[in-house]
Amino acid sequence: MTHTDYRITIVCTSAPWHPGPRARMLPLAQYGAAHGMKVSLLCLDPHAATEPTLPTQNGGVKIIPVAQMHVDNNGNPYHGLQLLSIVVSATVALTRAIIRTRPTDIVIAKAQPMNGIAALIAGWWCKARVHLDSDDNEAESHQSADWFVIRLLGWCEHQLPRWVMTTTCATDWQTTVLQRRGVSAVTTIPNGLTTTQRTVPNESLLQTLRRRLQLPERYLVYVGNLSTRAHAVDLLIEAYAVAQVTVPLVIAGSGHDFATLQRSADSLGIGNSLQWLGHLSPSDTQILLAGACASVDPVRDSSAAAARCPLKILESIAQRTPVITSDIGDRRVILGAAGIYPAAGDVQSYADAIISICADDAAPRDQFPSLDAYAWEYVAGRWYAAHAIHVTEVLYA
């Protein structure tokens, strides 16, 4: 089979603008399309129940919204019988949509029941090869969900790698977990960065963003989801209150715990020291990270945290910005000397790290690891090879 004979269908359970599809699956899909493959990205959409959804094209990839997502258009999860109805309807819709693409290869993006079951059924029907790409610990990341959802997610995480042809994971930590369970065809493929993301913005762009967002000259920054069940932003706010530094904390992102976190900051007496920017474009996020004295990736010691390869870490390295995080999963391997490693989940330890970085006006920016191994041109080539999908060339080999 030549590269132009491949018809690859990637199946996601979130919207195409959400971090997983946008920051991982779309660049991988675009790489295949650039090499002459027919690549479709099937997604769910939180607006599908109330608004019409139409296919779009991005970088040669056909993006097809298929059915209602398991959260509403405000990001609030459905529960009970309503959730069960959405799950069944979405699974059926995904199965039909996959079959219509006539795939040679199907990729399950995250080990979840809706896309997993749909891919297995469609793979059997179309005689297509089925693969899995996992970048999270799904069951632990959804601990606030209904009990049957957590059980189903856990079952999928254990069984899907055994039922697919190949599996890729975003971290060595997760790859090791699967190997210990007896999964042999598993390869670590981290997240990547585009050429633009690896470029440091000039001083003019920094100053323009500072004026537009009214940023101070020095600030700490958190970029990411404001959902405390999966991201320990509440830990960061507590630690910042304990640290009592004069350097402001800038928080960029959105999520359904936004109001709760704001109330928590106010109750701790640090409301005036925090600046909430909401959701930013990728280009603004890049400049924001470049201007920070440090970024923070707060984590607790959990499987969900260990399984992730946070894009914000890679983006921070690209902008020569140190990262305060914990030695969980692959973080120390990725960051090396560019990281500051407080104990996971420990408020005082994070506070001490914040005090240390804020007291240092010349934080070391000459010990950052090379990003050659995280260039999408290289990462995507390895990803396709790991799934036995052959392309004509792999850059940076």
Q: What is the DSSP string of 8-21?
A: EEEE-SS-TTSHHI
Q: Are residues 150 and 222 in the same domain?
A: no
Helix 347-359 vs helix 233-243: angle between axes, to the nearest 10 degrees? Answer: 60
User: Which secondary structure element, helix H or strand E, spans residue 133, and what is its range?
Assistant: strand 129-134
In a domain? residue 370: no
Q: Are residues 267 and 335 in the same domain?
A: yes
pLDDT digits (tens, 9 = 90+) for 192-204: 999 999 999 999 9
Mean pLDDT, residues 275-291: 94
In a domain? residue 365: no
What is the helix, strand, coil percentage profile of the chain, to 5?
Answer: 45, 15, 40
Q: Are residues 265 and 166 in the same domain?
A: no
In a domain? residue 368: no
Radius of gyration of the chain (CA): 21
143 has pLDDT over 70 = no
At residue 210, the pLDDT reads: 94
At residue 396, the pLDDT reads: 37
User: Which secondary structure element, helix H or strand E, spans residue 100, and what is its range?
Assistant: helix 80-100
Q: Is 191 left (phi over 0), alpha (psi -120 to 50) or beta?
A: beta
Q: Are residues 115 and 152 in the same domain?
A: yes
In a domain? residue 82: yes
In a domain? residue 367: no
What single string gives the DSSP state of each residue in 56-84?
Answer: EEETTEEEEEEEE-SB-TTSPBP-HHHHH
In a domain? residue 278: yes
Q: Are residues 176 and 240 in the same domain?
A: no
Q: Exposed, middle or buried: residue 356 (CB in 10 Å: 0-12, 13-18, 19+)?
A: middle
Residue 253 phi, psi dihedral angles, 5° rounding: 150, 175
Range of the domain at 348: 203-359
Q: Are residues 63 and 178 in the same domain?
A: yes
How many whole angstroms separate alpha carbon 330 and alpha carbon 314? 12
Starting at the edge strand found earlier in the chain, the sheet holding 220-223 runs 274-278, 249-252, 220-223, 294-296, 323-324, 339-340
Q: Is the pTM of this model over 0.75?
A: yes
Q: Are residues 163 and 228 in the same domain?
A: no
Q: Are residues 172 and 43 in the same domain?
A: yes
At residue 364, the pLDDT reads: 55
Which amino acid is present at 70? H
> What's the pLDDT band for 366 if we cut at 50, 70, 90?
low
Encoded tokens for 193 = 């960065």
Q: Is 321 left (phi over 0), alpha (psi -120 to 50) or beta?
A: beta
Which residues are within 8 A (CB) of 366 and not within 5 positions of it... i.e. 6 or more apart? Answer: none
Q: Are residues 96 and 181 in the same domain?
A: yes
> What's the pLDDT band for 362 if we cut at 50, 70, 90?
very low
pLDDT digits (tens, 9 = 90+) for 99-129: 999 999 999 999 999 999 999 999 999 999 9
Q: Are residues 207 and 306 in the same domain?
A: yes
At residue 98, the pLDDT reads: 98
**Overall number of domains in the chain:** 2
In a domain? residue 17: yes
Mean pLDDT, residues 9-38: 92
243 has pLDDT over 70 = yes
When comparing pLDDT for 366 and 109, which is higher? 109
Of 397, 370, 394, residue with least CA distance to 384: 394
Q: What is the CATH number of the domain that holds 272?
A: 3.40.50.2000
What are the CB-based long-range contacts (under 8 Å, 24+) for 265-268? 265/237, 265/241, 268/237, 268/238, 268/241
In a domain? residue 397: no
Q: Are residues 155 and 270 in the same domain?
A: no
At residue 394, the pLDDT reads: 44
Q: Are residues 9 and 156 in the same domain?
A: yes
237 has pLDDT over 60 = yes
pLDDT digits (tens, 9 = 90+) for 40-81: 999 999 988 888 888 999 999 999 999 999 887 777 778 888
CB atoms within 10 A of CB 178: 20
Instruction: Specify whether the CB–CB gap between 303 and 140 falls below 8 A.
Output: yes
At residue 81, the pLDDT reads: 85
Mean pLDDT, residues 234-262: 94
Report CA 180 to chain centroid distance, whole Å.
24
Of 117, 332, 314, 134, residue with least CA distance to 223: 314
Mean pLDDT, residues 357-377: 78
| Average of per-residue pLDDT values in the chain | 90
> What's the pLDDT band for 145 if we cut at 50, 70, 90?
low
At residue 155, the pLDDT reads: 83
